């Protein structure tokens, strides 16, 4: 028998790779943070002697979910300005609140709140875009969650930086600081084509190639954005990005609710990735990402929640359900975005977009043991004919019982093991009191 660290027996395992595969009564063998083998439970008991053995007789095991677009610290603005159009929400409420409140402490506490929520919902990796990315990186590393922190760039000054040169310099310093952290990755995060000047965008493209990191940006989010670009530059935003050399496999284009057929073909040809944020787009009434058309064209799709200020949660299970239902409604095809494809988008699709698919996104030997256990033995999810369908259309994040990241048990029986929930509640309560009094 081989001695290993962890053996997890589950009623079902959906490894994502191979596609449309569900193993019944199987086990995952984990050693030194990585998957060794997935095999029938009876064989696993004969082949492996584990230091820790988990028996999950009513659970579905899936790869850790990848939240491919969020603004973690904005969790402290959850519900601050609801039911408003995007630009009124931003210019009249969110940007003024950021000018008043955002700093290192705000980002630290807001990121911890977001990470706690994400872990309890099965997210094991997130792609962030916000000020003070070094604070988010530190909090994520301490909490044991994977994060791609965005090296944000925007043309106007903030408490983080005064101009584009300072944004870039500070961002590169964060990249250098965390380049050897096994959980932290970086991307350039220019806010949007309309808030970052062409020369700076061009420079970001060059730097991204040099550092070999992605570029993460809001693109084609609203009809007004398209109209503004045509009026100011004579072309749509995606065409501007192509002129500037940013339309490439490095690009994570977020939202993409306003797309022509020719633009979908362009995205497929250049290998860019699209991050679908359906609930935020619905709430802000910005349009519908043509997810089914993008997938049919061969574009890699990931799923993101956006920030809790505009969603208003970081619930990837909810986002997956909305993605599936919205695609069917928008396309008029009941077969659009089947459950297994949506799970792939939320795991392997996100990993591919972030350049991390060799390590995470599916349950294969030698990949990191980023695992999520969802208990389907609830009245609300019985009977179970197809566990992946139940996951997408019926299960809630409260059914996520356990989460491992690199084999580390970060959520155990719904209890966070790397964050102090009581202390976090107290800090969030103090922020609520301060912001309410303003």
pLDDT surpasses 90 at 258: yes
Q: Once rounded to an integer, what is the mean pLDDT over residues 390-404?
A: 98
Q: Which residues contact 407 (CB under 8 A, 6 or more apart)?
A: 5, 6, 30, 31, 32, 33, 34, 368, 369
- The answer on 387 and 298 residing in a single domain is no
Per-residue model confidence (pLDDT) at position 86? 80
Write out the two tokens for 296: 């049919």
233 pLDDT above the threshold of 80: yes
Q: Tell whether 205 and 254 lie within a shared domain.
A: yes
Average pLDDT of the segment spanning 115-130: 98
72 plus 189 within the same structural domain: yes
Q: Could you tell me if 185 and 265 lie in one domain?
A: yes
Give domain status of residue 412, yes or no: no
What CATH number has the domain bearing residue 33?
A: 2.30.40.10
Structural domain includes residue 435: no
**Burial of residue 2 (number of CB atoms within 10 Å: 0-12, 13-18, 19+):** exposed
Half-sphere exposure of 202 (CA within 13 A, CB side): 6
Q: Three-state DSSP class for 432?
A: helix
Q: Measuring CA to CA, how many Å separate 309 from each of 24, 159, 305, 378? A: 39, 19, 10, 31
What is the CATH number for 328? Answer: 3.20.20.140
CA distances from 216 to 226, 273, 275 (A): 18, 10, 9
**Strand 2-13, strand 400-405: pairing:** unpaired
Q: Any residues with CB less than 8 A from the CB of 48 and at least 6 apart, and which?
A: 1, 2, 3, 4, 7, 29
Q: What is the pLDDT of residues 161-196, one digit of tens each?
A: 999 999 999 999 999 999 999 999 999 999 999 999
DSSP state of 368: B
Asked, as a colleague might, if the bond just before 18 is cis with ω within 30 of 0, I would say: yes
Structure tokens at 63: 């790869």
pLDDT for 301-351, tens place per residue? 999 999 998 899 999 999 999 999 999 999 999 999 999 999 999 999 999
212 Cβ partners below 8 Å, 6+ apart?
none
Asked whether residue 277 is assigned to any structural domain, the reply reads: yes
CB 219 within 8 A of CB 192: yes
Nearest residue to 273 via CA among 141, 127, 129: 127
The pLDDT score that the predictor gives to residue 90 is 84
My answer on whether 55 and 107 are in the same domain is no
438 pLDDT higher than 80: no
Give percent of the chain with pLDDT exceeding 90. Answer: 95
Pair 265, 296 in one domain: yes
Residue 236 lies in a domain: yes
Q: Are residues 106 and 171 in the same domain?
A: yes
Query: If you write DSSP's letter for every residue of 139-166 in order, what string do you get?
Result: HHHHHT-EEEEEEEE-SS--SS-SSHHH
Distance CA 72, CA 47 (A): 42
Total of domains in the chain: 2
What pLDDT is attached to residue 371? 98
For residue 364, tell me if it sits in a domain.
no
Taking 90 as the threshold, does the pLDDT of residue 95 lie above it?
A: no
Within a domain: 394:
yes
Beta bridge partners of 39: 27
The predicted structure's pLDDT at residue 91 = 87
DSSP state of 122: T
Q: What is the pLDDT of residue 1?
A: 85
Q: Is 351:425 a contact under the CB 8 Å cutoff?
A: no
pLDDT in the model for residue 363: 98
Q: What is the pLDDT, as a whole number, of residue 85?
A: 85
In a domain, 419, yes or no: no
- pTM assigned to the model: 0.97
Based on the fold, state whether residues 336 and 390 are members of the same structural domain: no
Spatial contact of 387 and 12, defined as CB atoms under 8 Å apart:
yes
Q: What is the mean pLDDT of residues 284-297?
A: 95
Q: Are residues 52 and 187 in the same domain?
A: no
Full domain range(s) for residue 110:
65-353
- Per-residue pLDDT band at 87 (split at 50, 70, 90): confident
Q: Can you give the pLDDT at residue 274?
A: 98
Q: Mean pLDDT in the chain?
A: 96
Averaged pLDDT for residues 120-136: 98
89 and 225 fall within a common domain: yes
Please tell me the distance from the alpha carbon of residue 77 to that of residue 97, in angstroms, as a whole number: 8
Query: What DSSP string runs through 6-57?
Result: EEEEEEEE--SSSTT--EEEEEEEEETTEEEEEEEHHHHHHHEEEEEEEEEE
Both structure tokens of 25:
């009564």
Q: Is 311 in a helix, a strand, or coil?
A: coil
Same domain, 129 and 24: no
> Domain for residue 417, yes or no?
no
Same domain, 179 and 93: yes
């Amino acid at each position: 028998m081989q001695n290993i660290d962890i053996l997890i027996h589950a009623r079902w395992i959906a490894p994502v790779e191979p596609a449309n595969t569900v193993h019944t009564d199987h086990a995952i063998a984990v050693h030194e943070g990585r998957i060794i083998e997935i095999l029938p439970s009876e064989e696993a008991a004969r082949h492996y002697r584990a230091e820790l053995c988990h028996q999950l007789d009513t659970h579905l095991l899936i790869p850790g979910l990848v939240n491919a677009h969020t603004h973690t610290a904005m969790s402290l603005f959850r519900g601050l300005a609801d039911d408003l159009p995007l630009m009124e929400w931003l210019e009249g409420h969110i940007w003024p609140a950021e000018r008043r409140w955002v700093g290192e402490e705000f980002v630290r506490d807001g990121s911890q709140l977001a990470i706690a929520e994400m872990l309890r919902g099965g997210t094991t990796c997130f792609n962030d875009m916000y000020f003070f990315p070094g604070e988010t990186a530190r909090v994520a590393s301490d909490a044991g969650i994977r994060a791609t922190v965005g090296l944000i760039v925007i043309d106007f000054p903030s408490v983080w930086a005064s101009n584009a040169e300072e944004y870039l310099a500070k961002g590169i310093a964060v990249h250098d600081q965390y380049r050897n952290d096994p959980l932290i990755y970086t991307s350039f995060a220019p806010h949007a084509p309309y808030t970052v000047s062409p020369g700076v965008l061009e420079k970001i493209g060059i730097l991204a190639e040099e550092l070999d990191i992605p570029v993460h940006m809001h693109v084609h989010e609203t009809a007004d954005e398209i109209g503004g670009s045509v009026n100011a530059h004579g072309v749509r935003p995606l065409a501007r990005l192509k002129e500037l050399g940013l339309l490439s496999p490095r690009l994570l284009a977020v939202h993409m609710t306003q797309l022509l057929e020719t633009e979908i073909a362009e995205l497929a040809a250049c290998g860019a990735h699209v991050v679908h944020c359906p609930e935020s787009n619905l709430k802000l009434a910005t349009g519908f990402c043509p997810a089914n058309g993008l997938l049919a064209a061969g574009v890699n799709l990931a799923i993101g929640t956006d920030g809790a200020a505009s969603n208003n949660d970081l619930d990837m299970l909810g986002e997956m359900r909305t993605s599936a239902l919205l695609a069917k409604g928008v396309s008029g095809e009941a077969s659009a975005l089947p459950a297994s494809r949506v799970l792939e988008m939320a795991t392997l699709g996100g990993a591919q977009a972030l350049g991390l698919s060799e390590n995470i996104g599916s349950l294969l030997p030698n990949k990191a043991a980023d695992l999520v256990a969802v208990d389907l033995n609830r009245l609300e999810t019985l009977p179970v004919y197809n566990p992946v369908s139940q996951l997408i259309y019926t299960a809630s994040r409260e059914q996520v019982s356990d989460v491992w990241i690199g084999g580390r048990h970060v959520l155990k029986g719904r209890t966070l093991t790397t964050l102090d929930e009581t202390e976090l509640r107290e800090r969030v309560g103090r922020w609520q009191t301060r912001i309410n009094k303003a």
